[in-house]
Amino acid sequence: MTFSHLDLDEFADRAGVDLRRAFGELAALYARVDARIEATTKNLNLPCHKGCDACCRESVFLTTLEFLYVWDQVQKTFDDNAFQEVIARGLALYQQHRVIIEALEEAHDDPTKRLHWAMQLKFDCPFLSIEGACRVYPVRELYGRMFGCSFNSQGGVYGCSIVGKHLAEQEVTLVSADSWSRVLQRLPLTNMRQVYPYFIHHLYGL
């Protein structure tokens, strides 16, 4: 099966959203987040660097707006082989983890249940290249930007064990992932979060 590009603006229009304006607001938010992270981590020598793919093997969640922002870039920049491959990979991941992804959807109003299922959901991101690089890095989602360089809701590091060990027993000041998440939710199409395979399935699944 060959997959085609979609009119994302038409999709957003049906929800009453000016997608290009929303993209501009999202890009401005990302710029603010990136600047704050740069200021708070510049002297920490974090182990996060190009080639480290620990955060790409977690179930990072994103909103509909963030997914559309990524997918808009995919449709503009991926060649046809890469485009077809990432859709096929996303659809396969959805089928592989369908029970948990659908359980997450059913528990959308129950944070405790959602956390229970989210903790069980781990897979390689469909945008992870064979070299271990993110193929949509400039437009990656908010949580991807904050992974390893922010505090979670419990005051610990939102990130992997590599960062946790690096920052152990250090007194640091990091941005709050939850606070920036609430800022994001002021934008349209941000009232729910899911993983990349969920969105790819809903665009291209049979």
Q: How far apart are CA 65 and CA 52, in angstroms?
A: 26
Q: What is the pLDDT of residue 206?
A: 67
Instruction: Confirm whether 3 is domain-assigned.
Output: no
Q: Where are the beta strands (DSSP E) in 41-200?
A: 62-63, 150-151, 157-158, 175-176, 193-194
Give domain status of residue 129, yes or no.
yes
Task: Estimate the share of the chain in helix, then strand, then coil, as percent rounded to the nearest 5.
Answer: 55, 5, 40
157 domain-assigned: yes
In this prediction, the residues of the chain whose per-residue pLDDT falls under 70 are: 206
Closest C-alpha among 97, 69, 63, 90 to residue 3: 90
Domain that residue 58 falls in: 8-204
Tokens of 10: 């038409």
- Check residue 138 and report its DSSP letter: G
Nearby residues of 27 by Cβ (< 8 Å), 6 or more positions away:
69
Query: What's the number of domains the chain is made of?
Result: 1
CB 163 within 8 A of CB 58: no
Q: Is residue 130 part of a domain?
A: yes
To which H or E segment does residue 8 belong?
A: helix 8-14
pTM: 0.93
